[in-house]
Amino acid sequence: MNESMETSHKNTKQKISDKAFQLFREYGYDNVSVRQIAAELDITTGALYYHFKNKADILINRTAGNEDIIRQKAYDPSISTRKGQIMSLFLNLIADFIMYEGPEICTIRMLGRDLNINRSKSLEATLKDLVTDAINEKELSSEYSPETIVTSILYTFRGIAYCWATGSDQFDLKAALDSELSRVLNYYSIAA
């Protein structure tokens, strides 16, 4: 595939993804068909299927792109502590992403409905690296394994995200994450 065709392919795929997410937010995931996405873009369903197997594939593909961003943004040099980087990762990147997608897509991702994956392995790996560094730098206690701390952080995060996505009472997602993830990190911190 030559360079201009490859660029065109990526642009078309991105346009499909962007339009699908716009329609999912506007009408609801279950109320949007592949045919509707194609019609909105004035392409054939065959052209859409060339890029994506189905609607779920659009979600999976979108997640794959976000995993690269997670890895790049995790080690923000402007934040002096690993604990600060962990908080920033959730409050300034992941929470914004969840709020952008909206409650319905968040619920679908949390439950893994229609998807072959239900959690981000990249997020877990990045978080484990940050936690390991925080232990090595004496920000977190070495009494606990990185896996234990990561599990606590992810359980807390997923619980809050699930409640936000499925609850009848919408609450400030960032404030809840800030409060509860701070508690988790404080629990595992080295006593002063």
Strand partners, 189: 140
Confidence band (pLDDT; 50, 70, 90) for 117? very low
How many separate domains does the chain show? Answer: 2
Q: Is residue 160 located within the same domain as residue 174?
A: yes
Q: Is residue 150 located within the same domain as residue 104?
A: yes
144 residue type, one letter: Y
Tell me what the mean pLDDT of segment 96-119 comes to: 68
Q: Is the pLDDT of residue 96 over 90?
A: no
CA 153 to chain centre: 14
State both tokens at 69. Answer: 């961003």
Dump pLDDT digits (tens) for 121-167. Answer: 778 889 999 999 999 999 999 999 999 999 999 999 989 998 988 88
CATH assignment of the domain containing 32? 1.10.10.60
Q: Is residue 47 located within the same domain as residue 65?
A: no
Q: Is the pLDDT of residue 49 over 50?
A: yes
Distance CA 68, CA 76 (A): 14
Distance CA 33, CA 30 (A): 8
Predicted confidence at residue 102, as pLDDT, reads: 78
Q: Which domain, by its residues, includes 26?
A: 1-52
Whether 76 is in a domain gets the answer: yes
Q: Is residue 24 located within the same domain as residue 119?
A: no
Q: CA angle, corner 153, sides to 189 and 78, nearest 5?
A: 70
For residues 176 and 3, which has the higher predicted lDDT (pLDDT)? 176
Residues 6+ apart with CB under 8 A from 99: 173
Confidence band (pLDDT; 50, 70, 90) for 116? very low
Predicted confidence at residue 181, as pLDDT, reads: 96
Distance CA 64, CA 134 (A): 26
Dump pLDDT digits (tens) for 50-73. Answer: 999 988 888 777 766 666 677 777
What's the alpha-carbon Rg for the chain, to the nearest Å?
A: 19
Q: Is residue 23 located within the same domain as residue 65?
A: no
Q: Is residue 38 located within the same domain as residue 76?
A: no
Whether 15 is in a domain gets the answer: yes
Whether 6 is in a domain gets the answer: yes
Angle between helices 3-27 and 103-111 (to 10 degrees): 110
Q: Is the pLDDT of residue 2 over 70?
A: no
| Backbone phi and psi for residue 145, each to the nearest 5 degrees, phi listed first | -75, 155
Whether 4 is in a domain gets the answer: yes
Q: Is residue 7 located within the same domain as residue 61?
A: no
Q: Is residue 65 located within the same domain as residue 40?
A: no
Of 180, 61, 71, 158, the C-alpha closest to 123 is 71
Q: Is residue 119 located within the same domain as residue 158?
A: yes
Q: Is the pTM of this model over 0.75?
A: no
Whether 192 is in a domain gets the answer: no
Whether 130 is in a domain gets the answer: yes
Q: Is residue 106 located within the same domain as residue 152?
A: yes
CATH assignment of the domain containing 68? 1.10.357
